[in-house]
Amino acid sequence: MELPVLYAMRSSLYSAKARSYLIKQRIDYVERPPGDPRFPADVVPQIGRWIIPVLQTADGELIQDTCDIIDYFDAEMPPERSAKPPAGVQNIVARVLEMFGSEGLMRPALHYRWNFDGLNMPFVGEDFGRGLMLQDGSSTFAFGPEIDGSKGAAARAEVSTFAADRMRALTLDFGVNPETIPEVERSYLEFLALLSAHLETTPYLLGGRPTLGDFGFIAPLYAHLSRDPEPSLIMKRDAWPVWRWVERMNSPIIDTGEYGDVPSELFANDSIPPTLVTLLEYIGREFAAEVEAHVGFIDNWLAENDEVTEGDVVGGRPYRRSLGLVTWNWHGYEISTNAIPYRLLHLQRIQEAFEAADASAQATARELLGGAGLGGLLELKARRRVVRSDNRELWGAQQQPVVVS
């Protein structure tokens, strides 16, 4: 029987999320880098853009997007192994954590990769070059200038330089600049301390097995912040429990020996422990204003582009992820970041989990998230939904917008 194929890179943030899920759920698969000639020849034309990760199922179906990949496999998982907690408070919180991990840690992830060239680039350059071009010279770079892989190390260096230059520009577009860097670093160290405190008593975010929140967090914390040399040293020195969690999230066994005998169950009674409440409060300070600003920007864009109809590709082209730059206040700094409609999908997942909960769980979740400054995640909406179809983001049905004026 053919195994699923994951087209991914070790240095890719979102690849880490999909890979970790496959590993933790003990799903046999083959991993190929995008430098494999089959990726540009067979995968990119069907997806319509160069993007990773992409999963090719055993029967040949292509699934692009970490949420869709997890949903595909998790639909067949028994409840005791599912990444999704039962309907209730933990299910809502898991999706909040997933959104923050996938979207809210971009500034430290990009800063600690691209602003420490002396220590990072010998490693990162090789990582990019060997993922984007195969060592046997069989591949030609298919994302940017034509570069012949038969040139070996010289070709890999050229590829990695091209990719690095693009990502450095993206770092600025996520609000990392000389003025904000000290606050990016202070905020990240605070995050590490709070996550370490939580992981002192639990191997995973919601108890004895990983959930969507863990898979969201592993994306930046593995690909950028534990592998790249500079942030790896910081994590090992200042946040050993986080470092061990990263190892655990890439092990097919439960890997909880230092905690003693830990049942693979979530916290009892749908509870959220105080250390996780404190982490949610940090997320509220760090991320709530950003989400509010982005939803407002996207809603205004839709109002100004009222020719958009249901089923249109978001941004007009599959590879255009941002509608522009939105300016907002982050920790006293006015910064501009990409307004990405994809984030509405995460909001919708949170709100769908809230709607699936019973009245008691809804009341508890509303109080919990409201107290953490995250109550808006249960309410915020642009005037159109975002949906995914045929591995693309499309504008969905109209709805009543809820934005912060």
| CATH number (domain holding residue 54) | 3.40.30.10
- Side-by-side strand order, sheet with 5-7: 30-32, 5-7, 54-56, 62-64
Residue 155: pLDDT band by 50, 70, 90 thresholds?
confident
Per-residue pLDDT tens digits for 255-274:
999 999 999 999 999 999 99
Task: Please tell me whether residues 138 and 259 are part of one structural domain.
Answer: no
Per-residue pLDDT tens digits for 86-124:
999 999 999 999 999 999 999 999 999 999 999 999 999
Is residue 241 within 8 Å of residue 196, measured between CB atoms? yes
Give yes or no for residue 133 having a pLDDT over 90. Answer: no
Whether residue 80 is contained in a domain is answered as no
Whether residue 81 is contained in a domain is answered as no
Treating both helix axes as pointing N-terminal to C-terminal, what angle do 66-74 and 342-356 enclose, rounded to 10 degrees? 30
Give yes or no for residue 146 having a pLDDT over 80. Answer: no
Task: Please tell me whether residues 105 and 121 are part of one structural domain.
Answer: no
Q: How far apart are CA 208 and CA 24, in angstroms?
A: 12
Domain endpoint, select from 126, 158, 173 = 173
Residue 154: pLDDT band by 50, 70, 90 thresholds?
confident
Provide the mean pLDDT of the chain: 93
Task: Please tell me whether residues 216 and 244 are part of one structural domain.
Answer: yes
Task: Please tell me whether residues 393 and 266 are part of one structural domain.
Answer: yes
Q: How far apart are CA 386 and CA 174, in angstroms?
A: 22
Task: Please tell me whether residues 46 and 100 are part of one structural domain.
Answer: no
Q: How far apart are CA 159 and CA 147, in angstroms?
A: 7
Residue 139: pLDDT band by 50, 70, 90 thresholds?
low
Q: How far apart are CA 353 and CA 373, in angstroms?
A: 18
What proportion of the chain, given as a percentage, has pLDDT over 70?
Answer: 95
Whether residue 341 is contained in a domain is answered as yes
**Which pTM does this prediction carry?**
0.96
Domain endpoint, select from 173, 192, 218 = 173
Whether residue 303 is contained in a domain is answered as yes
Q: What is the mean pLDDT of residues 288-306?
A: 97
Whether residue 405 is contained in a domain is answered as no
Task: Please tell me whether residues 67 and 135 are part of one structural domain.
Answer: no
Task: Please tell me whether residues 66 and 123 are part of one structural domain.
Answer: no
Task: Please tell me whether residues 104 and 230 are part of one structural domain.
Answer: yes
Considering its fold, how many domains does the chain have in total? 3
Domain holding 35, by residue range, is 5-74
Whether residue 264 is contained in a domain is answered as yes
Give yes or no for residue 298 having a pLDDT over 70. Answer: yes
Task: Please tell me whether residues 283 and 151 are part of one structural domain.
Answer: no
Q: What is the mean pLDDT of residues 185-198?
A: 98
Residue 130: pLDDT band by 50, 70, 90 thresholds?
confident
Per-residue pLDDT tens digits for 68-81:
999 999 999 999 99
Give the three-state DSSP class for 175.
Answer: coil
Task: Please tell me whether residues 197 and 169 are part of one structural domain.
Answer: no
Per-residue pLDDT tens digits for 329-361:
999 999 999 999 999 999 999 999 999 999 999
Whether residue 195 is contained in a domain is answered as yes
Tokens 């709070």 — which residue?
A: 194
Task: Please tell me whether residues 104 and 120 are part of one structural domain.
Answer: no
Task: Please tell me whether residues 336 and 314 are part of one structural domain.
Answer: yes
